[in-house]
Amino acid sequence: MYITQIVEQLKQEIPTLIVKVEEDLAPYTFTKTGGKADLFVMPTSHNLAAKTLAFAYANQIPLTILGNGSNLIIKDGGIRGIVMYLDALHAIKREGTKVIAGCGAKIIDVSRFALAESLSGLEFACGIPGSVGGALYMNAGAYGGEISDVLIEATVLTVSGELLHLKKRSTRGKIS
Ligand SMILES: Cc1cc2nc3c(=O)[nH]c(=O)nc-3n(C[C@H](O)[C@H](O)[C@H](O)COP(=O)(O)OP(=O)(O)OC[C@H]3O[C@@H](n4cnc5c(N)ncnc54)[C@H](O)[C@@H]3O)c2cc1C
């Protein structure tokens, strides 16, 4: 399928999705290097992210997730298919003694939020420049702490857009 055809189909199937064609990816990475994405999409809700994943899966279009770009080197030739940028999913809230954060939230902001709420556990993350999604994906850590130490559960989308709730197993660092 050509890019123009994919854009037309995306507009029909997910009309509220923000779609950019041939977006320069360098500004989104810490190294400020790299080429363009064929298609760059910015879902503003989890539902739109799920629909985007389902669309890419159904049409066999490669999809790459971009967090805060602090652990990515993008090649000059860019990225084929869809790059999904999740920056808009950045809500952070408190529920009892837990913090619930969207995958697009900066882990530094979540650490600062926990501090402001007098909740301990995320001190180690105060200098890690990634998103929550990237931190979970990479199991980010510093100063002897890591995400798997403090993660309780995660709501995730599969490659086909299915929503799953995963709880951490008692074994350190594993979720099931
Ligand atoms: C100055 C500097 C200091 C750093 N210090 C530390 C440190 O102390 N400790 C540490 O662990 N790391 C550190 N890092 C590395 C980096 O910040 C972490 O690895 C961080 O977790 C990457 O998150 P990101 O959102 O930037 O991911 P990106 O760089 O955008 O992506 C990295 C990978 O995660 C995937 N990904 C991102 N978001 C999602 C998502 N929502 N769902 C699924 N996959 C996703 C991407 O597809 C990609 O494969 C540092 C980096 C820099 C530049």
pLDDT digits (tens, 9 = 90+) for 33-62: 999 999 999 999 999 999 999 999 999 999
Domains held by the chain: number: 2
Is 117 within 8 Å of 99 (Cβ atoms)? yes
What's the gap in Å between 31 CA and the centre of ligand 1? Answer: 13
pLDDT value at 69 more than 70: yes
Report pLDDT for 1.
73
pLDDT digits (tens, 9 = 90+) for 93-103: 999 999 999 99
What's the gap in Å between 53 CA and the centre of ligand 1? Answer: 21
Decide if 176 is inside a domain: no
134 lines ligand 1 (CB under 6 A): yes
- Point out the domain boundary residue: 33, 55, 85: 85
What's the gap in Å between 11 CA and the centre of ligand 1? Answer: 30
pLDDT value at 171 more than 60: no
Q: Is residue 99 domain-shared with residue 117, that is, in the same domain?
A: yes
- Point out the domain boundary residue: 66, 85, 104: 85
**Mean pLDDT rounded to a whole number for the chain:** 95
Which residue of 128, 143, 175 sits with most ligand 1 atoms within 8 Å of its CB, as the best mutation to test the pocket? 128
Mean pLDDT on 96-113: 98
Domain carrying residue 35 = 3-85
Q: Is residue 111 domain-shared with residue 128, that is, in the same domain?
A: yes
Report the distance separating Cα 56 and Cα 6, nearest Å. Answer: 10
